[in-house]
Amino acid sequence: MVRAQAEAVAAAASQPILIQVAQETAMRDMTSRFQAMSERLMSDPEIRRSAEQMQERLMSDPETRQLIEELMRRLGGTPPTEELN
């Protein structure tokens, strides 16, 4: 009976839905870690200023701006225009 239960557990673990749930959980964890890291970095005024300058330089190039707008559309929506100006 124990062997049958172990085989059932092993079979269930290989099911696509369980793999998907594990992947989604890992993505949520990675996203929250990235957000926390981002917040810590942006709390440093010098790093924040550098990031803003880099964004201004990137967005001043029309080709780069167009690529970013296309990427944002593919990721699920058009960003507000004031965000890209």
Handedness of CA 16, 17, 18, 21 (dihedral sign): positive
Res 50: pLDDT: 93
* pTM attached to this predicted model: 0.45
Domain containing 15 equals 1-43
| 1: in domain | yes
Q: Is the pLDDT at 55 greater than 90, yes or no?
A: no
The answer to whether residue 82 sits within a structural domain is no
Assess if residue 79 is contained within a domain: no
In a domain, 8, yes or no: yes
- The count of structural domains within the chain is 1
What is each CA distance from 72 to 35, 46, 49, 81, 83, in whole angstroms? 18, 27, 23, 12, 11
pLDDT(68) > 80: yes
Residue 16 within any structural domain of the chain: yes
3-class secondary-structure state, position 15: coil
